[in-house]
Amino acid sequence: MRSSSKFADLAQTLEAVRGTRSKNQKVDAFAAYLSKLDADDAEEAARMAVGTSSERGSKDEVQVGYSTVFTVLKGITGASSDDVSKTYLKYGDLGEVAEELLRAKRERPLFEEPLTIAGVSDSFGRLRSAKGKGSGATREALVKSLLLRATPLEGKYIVKVMTREMRTGLVSGMMEGAIAAAFGSSKEETAKAHMLLGDVGLLAKAASRKQLGSVRMEPFRPVNFMLAEPLASAEEVASHFGEAAYAEYKYDGVRAQVHKKGDEVRVYSRRLEDISAFFPEVTRGAAGSAYDFILDGEIVPYSGGKPLPFQLLQRRLRRMVNFSEAAKNAPVEYFAFDLLYEGDREVVELTLRERRKLLDQVRAGTTLRTAESSTVEGAGEISKLFRKSRDLGYEGLVLKSPGSQYTMGKRGSAWVKMKEELDTIDAVIVAAEYGHGKRAGVISDYTFAVRDGDELKTIGKAYSGLTDAEIDEMTARMKEITVHDYGYTRKVKPEVVIEVAFDSIQRSDRHDSGYALRFPRIKRIRADKSVGQADTIEKVEKTFAGQRLKVDRASG
Ligand code: AMP
């Protein structure tokens, strides 16, 4: 293995970084440490310091579960399960638990050579590739051999990287500053290279080698997406642009970059994760182009010329197995709306007008689609197209300035989005009943409520938005949590939170909140939220007041 600096120095530096609240001191401490490393160590150390061990955008990430760490710690320190849980309750941080328990290490390592950055990084690499059947034991052995050799402080930071819970306050933007300071590169140059590399490790390595100036955009290195600013009305959008703008439908799917080089194609999510495996039809569909490229666009559940509900896609993302089945039940299309790289060059600095022309050119030979785009000017045209987008089942419009550049990772004013929904409300289901007609055998109508202090106040009833499979799941769930069955309706234990979209809020005596949502539709089941996190009556009142204001402004 190459010669490499001691891991202990990294651990001590991170401890110092964590120990100060001053951002400048954090940056200075890490810069001083980095400046002493060679390029390879700088790459690994910078990455570990932000709590990861693999390149951003790569498919593999070390994911060692709490239970593996607990088992290993018990094994090498002799601590009981009880000791481990108590220590965990004391700190709430697994790294600190490791540090404390390792002070009482019982087993001694076979050899006492100090851990190095390269050595630890090599073990992380092996942890990443230990996958599938029987890998549990391999992973446990790898974690054990690392922690056996580690001092308590080293153990703390090894565990923090493995569990991806660094918590030193040295976030990626500050790391950029530390790298610039360590290797004497300018802020602008470092920021531009960071944007293109998207990874602090590669950035540190290039800075250390004085190669930031030659960093270029390249396929298979995802970059941050350009974002849109929200505007509420056609009038606002028209005066924002003040001239003709491109209008595209707002597709409700998953934002994705498609990268192609030679025969290879990969797809990256908004979080810059490689999601190619989920969408074989997109990778296959892109392969036919004669060009290398990086596209920006949206993967949309779509069939027979129409968008399908977003939920279909969510289910597909959850289900890794059986793609052909998934592709049949949730067919998707990729709608490209921008081009970042073509042939062998970055094109983000060209105007959108020019990029769209090139996009048509590189798309030839693929089965990918391009987002429908038309030129609009003035509130009347915008509002007409907006209506059309809603009628066709899209979320609204995204409007773009034809002369603008592609600004990575920025919510610039060159793109604006317009959605009809005023807002959504996270509400709790408090009662449910069987549906009618096609829905007669399933519990598909839900009365929902918002929080008012300790109480729940109803605000509407919804019966649309869920897929058949979701309704089946809900039927079972509603039966389980029924508190009282009145025959036609049933009161349920308030524990299911749903996100409800609506057109407007009205005053109403029908519900005990005093308000009713107009045209409510369920956007999704918020399994991630508990009742205590549902929205409150205050939010409803505020939205109601805001909506009055907007109406007044539009009519005045
Ligand atoms: P939102 O998620 O509501 O903030 O809206 C922004 C998102 O709209 C983007 O991140 C894209 O995923 C999505 N989107 C859909 N259609 C387009 C389009 N034609 N241009 C840009 N973004 C779009």
pLDDT tens digits along 185-244: 999 999 989 988 888 999 999 999 999 999 999 999 899 899 998 787 788 899 999 999
Task: Give the closest residue (by CA) to ligand 1 atom 16.
Answer: 250
From the CA of 217, how far away is ligand 1's center (Å)? 23
Distance CA 135, CA 131 (A): 5
From the CA of 354, how far away is ligand 1's center (Å)? 21
Q: What percent of the chain has pLDDT over 70?
A: 94
Atom of ligand 1 nearest to the CA of 250: 16
* pLDDT at residue 14 is higher than 60: yes
Atom of ligand 1 nearest to the CA of 419: 3
DSSP string over 241-310: H-S-EEEEE---SEEEEEEEETTEEEEE-TT--B-GGG-HHHHHHHTT-SS-EEEEEEEEEEETTEE--H
- The CATH code that applies to domain 423-555 is 2.40.50.140
Atom of ligand 1 nearest to the CA of 253: 12
* pLDDT at residue 470 is higher than 50: yes
65-69, 129-133, 396-400, 419-423, range with greatest mean pLDDT: 396-400
| Ligand 1 pocket mutation pick from 224, 227, 251 by most atoms within 8 angstroms of CB | 251
Distance CA 426, CA 457 (A): 13
* pLDDT at residue 555 is higher than 60: no
Task: Give the closest residue (by CA) to ligand 1 atom 23.
Answer: 250
From the CA of 315, how far away is ligand 1's center (Å)? 20
| Ligand 1 pocket mutation pick from 252, 398, 399, 406 by most atoms within 8 angstroms of CB | 398
Distance CA 468, CA 407 (A): 40
Q: What CATH number matches the domain at 227-419, 3.40.630.30, 3.40.50.880, 3.30.470.30, 3.90.1150.10?
A: 3.30.470.30
| Ligand 1 pocket mutation pick from 227, 295, 298 by most atoms within 8 angstroms of CB | 298
Sequence ranges of the domains in the chain: 51-162, 227-419, 423-555
The whole-model pTM stands at 0.65
The tokens describing 6, both together, are 């001691």
Confidence of residue 420 (pLDDT cuts 50, 70, 90): low
Q: Is 493 a catalytic residue?
A: no
> For residues 53 and 14, which has the higher predicted lDDT (pLDDT)?
14
From the CA of 227, how far away is ligand 1's center (Å)? 7
Per-residue confidence (pLDDT) for residue 518, from 0 to 100: 80
State the average pLDDT over residues 424-441. 89
Nearest Cα residue to 63 out of 169, 162, 174: 162
Per-residue confidence (pLDDT) for residue 309, from 0 to 100: 79
* pLDDT at residue 57 is higher than 80: no
Confidence of residue 63 (pLDDT cuts 50, 70, 90): confident
Query: Is the Cβ–Cβ distance between 116 and 6 less than 8 Å?
Result: yes
Task: Give the closest residue (by CA) to ligand 1 atom 17.
Answer: 250
Per-residue confidence (pLDDT) for residue 506, from 0 to 100: 87
From the CA of 335, how far away is ligand 1's center (Å)? 11
The tokens describing 407, both together, are 């600004």
* pLDDT at residue 60 is higher than 60: yes
Atom of ligand 1 nearest to the CA of 254: 12
> For residues 194 and 329, which has the higher predicted lDDT (pLDDT)?
194
State the average pLDDT over residues 479-493. 89
Catalytic residue among 105, 160, 205, 250: 250
From the CA of 533, how far away is ligand 1's center (Å)? 26
Task: Give the closest residue (by CA) to ligand 1 atom 11.
Answer: 255
Task: Give the closest residue (by CA) to ligand 1 atom 21.
Answer: 398
Task: Give the closest residue (by CA) to ligand 1 atom 4.
Answer: 228
Pocket-forming residues, ligand 1, beta carbon under 6 Å:
228, 248, 250-251, 255, 298, 337, 371, 398, 417
Task: Give the closest residue (by CA) to ligand 1 atom 12.
Answer: 255
The tokens describing 107, both together, are 């087993």
Query: Is the Cβ–Cβ distance between 439 and 457 less than 8 Å?
Result: no
Average predicted confidence (pLDDT) for the chain: 89
Question: Rounded to the nearest 10 degrees, what angle do helices 7-19 and 23-34 cross at?
Answer: 170
Distance CA 97, CA 323 (A): 41
Atom of ligand 1 nearest to the CA of 248: 19
Atom of ligand 1 nearest to the CA of 255: 12
Per-residue confidence (pLDDT) for residue 457, from 0 to 100: 96
State the average pLDDT over residues 260-265. 96
From the CA of 251, how far away is ligand 1's center (Å)? 7
Number of other residues whose CB lies within 10 A of the CB of residue 354 = 14
Atom of ligand 1 nearest to the CA of 371: 19
Residues 6 or more apart from 388 whose CB is under 8 A from it?
Answer: none
Task: Give the closest residue (by CA) to ligand 1 atom 8.
Answer: 250
Enumerate the H helices of 92-232 as residue ranges: 94-102, 117-129, 135-149, 152-162, 172-183, 187-197, 200-208
From the CA of 349, how far away is ligand 1's center (Å)? 21
Assess if CATH 1.10.3260.10 describes domain 51-162.
yes
